[in-house]
Amino acid sequence: MKLLKFLPLIIFLIVSIFLYNKIKHQKKLEPLSSALIAKKFPSLKINSLDNNDTINDFIKNRFVIINIFASWCAPCRIEHEVLKSFSQEYTIIGLAYKDSIENIESFLNELGNPYKKVFYDFSGKESINLGLYGIPETFFVNKNSKILYKHVGPINKMEFKKIISEIIH
């Protein structure tokens, strides 16, 4: 009878130990499977909003983070604050997916612009060639234009820091 009194505490301790071990031995982040991971960023016919650059010319010889977003995407709005918080430290490029210039500019004026440069893919075809599953998606690309990591969905600060620490260090 006395043992039954302590049963909830014993169960709680067992579950706590199990969860602690699960978290402690968590695997490193693994990129979502993509045929492009560890390959050169593909040649895309995507221009910047100011029409001064193509995306491939702009990313040459620099570590970049390419964020695919849209003004109509609710998760993109949530993620936007995270991107702004890292925009001084890293070169973040925006790739607007199936959006109009007016909507892109309005979105950036309203929420702020974390991007060094914004490119557009009005039809969405080039983004699909990039292996887009849905938006937002974020690619981490090294100085040799090799894709190191792909994050699908809105990224939070903790995930961002973890990805950076694993691919840079």
pLDDT in tens, the chain (169 residues): 666 677 777 777 777 776 767 666 655 545 455 677 888 888 888 888 888 888 888 889 999 999 999 999 999 999 999 999 999 999 999 999 999 999 999 999 999 999 999 999 999 999 988 889 889 999 999 999 999 999 999 999 999 999 999 987 6
Q: Please state the CATH superfamily assignment of the domain spanning residues 28-168 in this structure.
A: Glutaredoxin (3.40.30.10)
Nearest-angstrom CA–CA distance, 131 and 60: 20
Record the pTM. Answer: 0.78
Nearest-angstrom CA–CA distance, 44 and 149: 18
Q: Per the structure block, which two tokens stand in for 120?
A: 């557009």
